[in-house]
Structure 1
Amino acid sequence: MFFGLLGSAAAADAKTIMVFGDSLSAGYGLRMEQAWPSLLQQKLGAGWRVINASQSGETTAGGLTRLPAALQRHKPAVVLVELGANDGLRGLPVETARQNLAAIIEQSRRAGAKVALIAIRLPPNFGGPYTAKFDAMYGELAKQYKLAEPPFLFDGIADQPNMFQSDQLHPIAAAQPRLLANVWPVVAPLVK
């Protein structure tokens, strides 16, 4: 689902940031205005329009399928890619997720957008080799495409169960400012 976070008059003159993620960015279990993309809109003000094109349950393959229409519709200047968690939770091949994320980066750039990746880490119960390969994927892609080092979305809250909803997967509203703080260092240079 697409959410434009500015009124139409302000949006006409604003550049667009498209947040392209899964339920962690869609604000699963929260009101739209509580999710970190809405907080990003508040931080940026009227010069930027934040479109939350995140979709709960999304995999990298699903995101890649949805991307062309989203790029055409929103014409973003910046794309923030937060995908991979559902690939990892389903135990899908890391190389497939990597290829999908690479294609998302490439398509976004061809559409004229600057890109930043936002990293997700898996719980250790997924096994050492798989988890290590998954965790390394974001940094490897950043290096390959000369992107900023991807921030870990849950930095500072991953080990705090009280910062998550009862499913222990989705952060609560009180955690959203921290998510924004984690993402902001890669966003700031792209919005100058």
Structure 2
Amino acid sequence: MRAWWLSGALALMFWAQGAVAGTLLVVGDSISAAFGLDSRQGWVALLEKRLEQEGFEHSVVNASISGDTSAGGAARLSALLAEHQPALVIIELGGNDGLRGQPPAQLQQNLASMVEKSRQAGAKVLLLGMRLPPNYGVRYTTAFAQVYVDVAAQEQVDLVPFFLEGVGGVPGMMQADGIHPGEPAQALLLDNVWPSLEPLL
């Protein structure tokens, strides 16, 4: 009887540890899809390594697609949540919305929808903020950046204010196209995310 109780307790302990760890789902665009790089060089791959090094047992699913917009992410999120049942969702979208000049209100609606769907599925959420180059004009770039602040405040989720801090526009950090971060920037991208991500794990 004692042996049965001990084995049952151990099984429950290991099950609980696995449930606490769970899956980390990244829903992003080309920046998180490691566009122009070997996927093993991207910040999401580096995140997997850091989780292991720090003793976290989360699995990572990178569902990022180059060229994706917030509308695309919102449209495919329900299926991703059902398939992977993540404990935590990182949303890295909006850059392509901005580059295409789409209305900030539309971006805000899509991001809020993604946050709400993720929470309804039982997942925590981390939102990665984006900003646009100044040539898009002060009015538009200001409204665009404010979307992330507003969504984070209204939905009460954690926010990385500017995911590309120290990367965007910095010599040596971007690829030749001037849009996508290069290999030297990937570790910095992870460092920008980690302080907000770690408390959620």
TM-score, normalising length from structure 2? 0.86
Output the CA distance in 2 between the equivalents of 1:126 and 1:151: 19
| Corresponding residue to 1:102 among 101, 108, 112 | 112
Partner Cα separation in structure 1 for residue 93 and residue 154 of structure 2: 17
Answering whether residue 197 of structure 2 is matched by residue 187 of structure 1, we say yes
- The aligned residue for residue 85 of structure 1 is 95
* Alignment partner of 1:53 out of 58, 63, 78: 63
* Structure 1: distance between partners of 2:113 and 2:63: 17
Match of 2:14? none
Task: Please report the TM-score for the alignment, with normalisation by the length of structure 1.
Answer: 0.90
Q: Which has the larger radius of gyration?
A: 2
Residue identity over aligned pairs, in percent, reads: 49
8 A Cα contact 2:125 2:158, kept in partner: no
Q: Could you tell me whether the CA contact under 8 Å between 2:128 and 2:160 is conserved in 1?
A: yes
Unpaired runs of at least 5, structure 2 = 1-17
| Aligned residue runs from structure 1 range 25-174, under 5 A | 25-45=32-52, 47-174=57-184
Moved over 4 A (4+): 11-14
Tell whether 2:30 aligns with 1:20: no
**Matched pairs, number:** 181
CA separation of 1:107 and 1:131: change in aligned 2, threshold 3 A: same
CA RMSD of aligned residues (A): 1.5
